[in-house]
Amino acid sequence: MAKTMGDLARRLAQDTNDDGDATPILIGDLKSGITSPVGQSIANILLRQEDAQAAPVGYKPPGVLSSKACKADTCCVWFYVSAALTSAFKGPTGRCNEIARQAIRLGFHDAGAWSQSNAAAGQDFGGADGSILLSGSEISRPENKGLAGIAALAKATAKSFGVGYADLIQFSAIHAVVTCPLGPRIRVFVGRKDSSTPAPTGLLPGVNDSADKLVALFQDKTIPPHDLAALVGAHTTSRQYFVDTTRKGAPQDGTPGVWDTLFYNQTVGTGPLPKQVLRFNSDLVLSADPRMNNEWLKFAGPGGQSHWDEDYATAYTRLSLLGVNNINNLTECSQVMPAAQPTFKGAGNLLITE
């Protein structure tokens, strides 16, 4: 896990993937200027000049949830939210469970419904704004089937703790990842603005999309092929219920309760592939695409776990801030996240879901 600018520089220098990635760009209000320390830090992450993973530091809340001291500390309420989510997301074997998987997917589906071209045309809405739960219609779209469990939990949590939906959705997605054994401890920022305006349609990927369509779709979100290769690795913990209804619950790799790189191996056929695993066609075409194949194989190879964790953290930070136009005013609350689990006994045991 890279922790210094030197580590990051060495990693970038070693990355020879010929993916055609352009220099990363700033998003949201950062395009108009960086006006705060947190804005500068986020800009550095987006430009791959600062680590998107948080070092494990302790946080002690200044008081109980209802106290004046807690209310005066922006991160205090999130400490209590974090404790509640840890209980909700961890299965009986210590792996991340079904509701954690849904939380990761919900984070993608709320934030991913945004594009540069729409924003340039005056439709700068959607993205990480909570509309997937607040609009009343977005959650019912076909691509959002299977999210009822996390939607109910998120609504109850937002009401119980008095936090915003946009922040809670992204906080939960990041929390679910670190709850999974081997998952990175991604830095977390709060203060997004909620919106009940339904996000534009047609902005989420499909399992039968071509590589060209998927690459173009994500490039329009400022996410290049290099980062797309990292983001689709979230399928390491997914299980499908609607792609093939005759195989409901089929995982996309053999260890769906662990945040490991087996997904990358099994997608390209270099790892043991139990018959229960269902590989999405979209993952197969991306793994073979020359813009991503080299990076894909690096994730699957020696040292791939730390490489992927680092790249995923950077890519997801960008995704989690799409459509957010008050980045300079956000607050970092990474300190309330649980510690990462870089090792886990039985991590390689196949087909244990939680």
What pLDDT was estimated at residue 56?
79
Residue 280 CA to residue 260 CA, distance in Å, equals: 18
| 274 contacts: CB under 8 Å, gap ≥ 6 | 254, 350, 351
Exactly one of 109, 175, 226, 307 is catalytic; name it.
Answer: 109
| Residue 280 confidence (pLDDT) above 60 | yes
Write down the pLDDT at residue 13.
45
Q: Are strands 331-332 and 239-240 parallel, antiparallel or unpaired?
A: unpaired
> What is the per-residue pLDDT across 139-198, written as a single tens digit (0 to 9) for each?
999 999 999 999 999 999 999 999 999 999 999 999 999 999 999 999 999 999 999 999
131 is in an annotated binding site: yes
pTM of the model: 0.94
pLDDT at position 71: 97
Phi/psi at 85 (nearest 5 deg)?
Answer: -70, -35
User: What does the pLDDT read at residue 179?
Assistant: 97
Residue 110 annotated in ligand binding: yes
Determine whether the annotation assigns residue 236 to a binding site.
yes
Amino acid at 28: G
The per-residue pLDDT for 20 is: 52
* 120 band by pLDDT with thresholds 50, 70 and 90: very high
| Residue 2 banded pLDDT, cuts 50, 70, 90 | very low
3-class state of residue 59 by DSSP = coil
Question: Once rounded to an integer, what is the mean pLDDT over residues 42-65?
Answer: 95
Annotated binding residue 317: no
For helices 165-179 and 98-111, the axis angle rounded to 10 degrees is 130
Each domain of the chain, given as residue ranges in start order, spans 27-54+61-336
Is 253 annotated in some ligand binding site?
A: yes
Residue 102 CB burial class (10 angstroms; 0-12, 13-18, ≥19): buried
Q: Mean pLDDT, the chain, as a whole number? A: 93
**Helix or strand or coil: residue 234?**
helix
Q: How confident is the model at residue 57 (pLDDT cuts 50, 70, 90)?
A: confident
218-241 burial: b if 16+ Cβ within 10 Å, else e: bbbbbbbbbbbbbbbbbbbbbbbe
Q: What's the average model confidence in pLDDT over 339-353?
A: 92
pLDDT tens, position by position, 263-275: 999 999 887 789 9
pLDDT at 201 over 50: yes
260 annotated as ligand-binding: yes
The three-state secondary structure class of 178 is: helix
Specify the CATH number for 27-54+61-336; select among 3.40.50.300, 1.10.520.10, 1.10.1740.10, 1.20.58.390: 1.10.520.10
Q: How confident is the model at residue 351 (pLDDT cuts 50, 70, 90)?
A: confident
**What percent of the chain has a predicted confidence (pLDDT) above 90?**
89
Annotated ligand binding at 311? The verdict is no
**Percent of the chain, pLDDT > 70?**
94
User: How does pLDDT run across 69-84, given as a tens digit for each residue?
Assistant: 999 999 999 999 999 9
Q: Please give the Cα distance from 317 to 53 (Å, whole number).
A: 10
- Contact call for residues 158 and 92 (beta carbons, < 8 A): no
Distance CA 81, CA 165 (A): 12
Helix, coil or strand: residue 105: helix
Q: CA distances (Å), 343 to each of 98, 167, 181, 184, 346, in order? A: 21, 29, 7, 12, 9
How far lies 307's CA from each of 45, 113, 229, 230, in Å? 16, 27, 12, 9
Select from 235, 224, 319 the least CA-distant residue to 284: 235
Instruction: Write the pLDDT tens digit of every residue in 297-342.
Output: 999 999 999 999 999 999 999 999 999 999 999 999 999 999 999 9
* Distance, CA of 133 to CA of 154 (rounded, Å): 9
> Residue 87 to residues 31, 78, 170: CA-CA distances in angstroms?
38, 14, 17
pLDDT tens per residue, range 4-42: 444 444 444 444 444 457 789 999 999 999 999 999 999
Per-residue pLDDT, 17: 43
109 a catalytic residue: yes
Q: Which residue has the higher pLDDT, 251 or 4?
A: 251
